[in-house]
């Protein structure tokens, strides 16, 4: 990867054209949009980004993009599941969808995480003949996805999905007070305190454990912005050091038909840990929401999920 220090303030596309060896602005603009350009170590995809004297620009004219578009390569065989399984019983299965994979699609020719899991389950046992996916996670996010093993549990899980408590990891650029609450609003304007834990912080990023459903992250984003924090990879102007969104559904509290608790949990994604390597666990200070505790199910109303899973 080549690099240079900006000599004259202006736009990123101008700097690449003047100092980066690109013969036309079109080629420079294409390289930026394809993710092949870094500004002070961070991938930038907006050609009009303002650069100042002394900033470091790195670029690679020999490739069109760093890594994007296609799903990550995963090896499959008949014995091992295509993705990590974190829960399974006779009624449903929970697996971890990696970032880069589409959860499910009506197009049969398209390979998805669900189609891969469905094929593996059908080969594993003849009893797996009535499979249904329950929830979707966006392509650039990761986390827990459920597959029902019969129509009765498909209907039950989908009808009660909004009542199942969720926990998400959110990776942001910026910092927040340790172990506190975010002042959020429902779509109808009603105020709600969302509890979070600060898992680890580096000089630039913070890893949060947030007591909210992943479908309602758009209600959390304004509160994060007010704290000066931007979710990694969420939006065209967001910092994108991982080529994915900094969102992972790590916990799901399923209540069975007989009232039994069926907790499902995953680990922190490896790419999150790599970015946070060397970070510290900040010590809690005085909390703004003294009566709101992370993980407390009594007296703590979660954000509503108005978007249907399927």
pLDDT of 151 above 90: yes
28: left (phi over 0), alpha (psi -120 to 50) or beta: alpha
**Contact (Cβ atoms closer than 8 angstroms) between residue 16 and residue 59:** yes
pLDDT of 290 above 70: no
In angstroms, the Cα distances linking 131 to 95, 134, 174, 299 are 14, 10, 42, 36
Residue 78: per-residue pLDDT? 58
Residue 75: per-residue pLDDT? 52
- The 10s digit of each residue's pLDDT in 115-140 is 999 999 999 999 999 999 999 999 99
- The 10s digit of each residue's pLDDT in 294-308 is 565 443 445 665 544
pLDDT of 247 above 70: yes
Residue 2: per-residue pLDDT? 81
What is the fold of 2-59? 3.10.290
Q: What's the CA gap between 231 and 229, in Å, rounded?
A: 7
Domain assignments of the chain as residue spans, ordered by start? 2-59, 85-161, 164-275
- The 10s digit of each residue's pLDDT in 183-232 is 999 888 899 999 999 999 999 999 999 999 999 999 999 999 999 999 99
List residues bridging with 171 in a β-sheet. 207
Is the Cα torsion angle 279, 284, 289, 295 positive or negative in sign?
positive
What distance lies between CA 96 and its chain's CA centroid? Answer: 12
- The 10s digit of each residue's pLDDT in 86-121 is 999 999 999 999 999 999 999 888 999 999 999 999
Per-residue pLDDT band at 54 (split at 50, 70, 90) = confident
Q: What is the DSSP string of the chain?
A: -EEEE--S-EEHHHHHHHHS--SSHHHHHHHHHTT-EEETTEE---TT-EE-TT-EEEE-TT-S-SS-SSPPP----SSS-SS-EEEE-SSEEEEEEPTT--S--S-TTS--HHHHHHHHHHHH-TT--S-EE-----TT-EEEEEEESSHHHHHHHHHTGGGSEEEEEEEEES---SS-EEEEE-TTS-EEEEEEEEEEE-SSEEEEEESS-GGGHHHHHHHHHHTT-EETT-STTS--TTSS-SEEEEEEEEE-TTS-EEEEE-PPPHHHHHHTTT-B-PPP---S-TT--TT--SS-PPPP--S---
**Contact (Cβ atoms closer than 8 angstroms) between residue 207 and residue 201:** yes
Q: Which CATH superfamily is domain 164-275 in?
A: Pseudouridine synthase (3.30.2350.10)
What distance lies between CA 274 and its chain's CA centroid? Answer: 15
What is the fold of 85-161? Alpha-Beta Plaits (3.30.70)
Identify the residue whose tokens are 């009765």. 152
Q: What is the largest CA-CA distance in the chain?
A: 68
């Amino acid at each position: 990867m080549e690099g240079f220090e900006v000599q004259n303030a202006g736009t990123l596309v101008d700097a690449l054209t003047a100092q980066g060896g690109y013969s036309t602005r079109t080629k420079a603009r294409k390289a930026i949009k394809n993710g092949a350009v870094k500004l002070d170590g961070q991938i930038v995809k907006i050609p009009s980004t303002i650069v100042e004297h002394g900033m470091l620009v790195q670029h690679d004219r020999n490739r069109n993009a760093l890594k994007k578009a296609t799903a990550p390569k995963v090896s499959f065989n008949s014995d091992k599941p295509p993705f990590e399984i974190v829960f399974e019983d006779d009624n449903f299965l929970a697996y971890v969808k990696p970032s880069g994979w589409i959860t499910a699609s009506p197009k049969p020719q398209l390979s998805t995480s669900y189609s891969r899991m469905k094929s593996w389950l059908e080969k594993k046992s003849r009893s797996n003949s009535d499979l249904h996916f329950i929830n979707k996670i966006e392509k650039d996010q990761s986390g827990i996805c459920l597959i029902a093993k019969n129509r009765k549990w498909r209907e039950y899980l989908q009808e009660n999905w909004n009542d199942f408590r969720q926990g998400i990891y959110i990776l942001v650029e910026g910092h927040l007070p340790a172990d506190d609450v975010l002042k959020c609003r429902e779509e109808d304007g009603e105020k709600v305190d969302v509890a979070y834990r600060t898992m680890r912080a580096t000089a630039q990023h913070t890893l949060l454990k947030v007591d909210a459903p992943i479908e309602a992250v758009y209600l959390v984003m304004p509160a994060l912005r007010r704290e000066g924090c931007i979710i990694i990879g969420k939006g065209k102007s967001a910092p994108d050091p991982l080529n994915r969104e900094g969102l992972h559904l790590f916990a799901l509290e399923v209540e069975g038909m007989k009232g039994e608790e069926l907790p499902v949990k995953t680990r922190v994604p490896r790419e999150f840990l790599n970015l946070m390597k060397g970070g510290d666990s900040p010590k809690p200070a005085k909390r703004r929401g003294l009566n709101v505790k992370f993980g407390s199910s009594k007296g703590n109303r979660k954000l509503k999920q108005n978007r249907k899973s399927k």
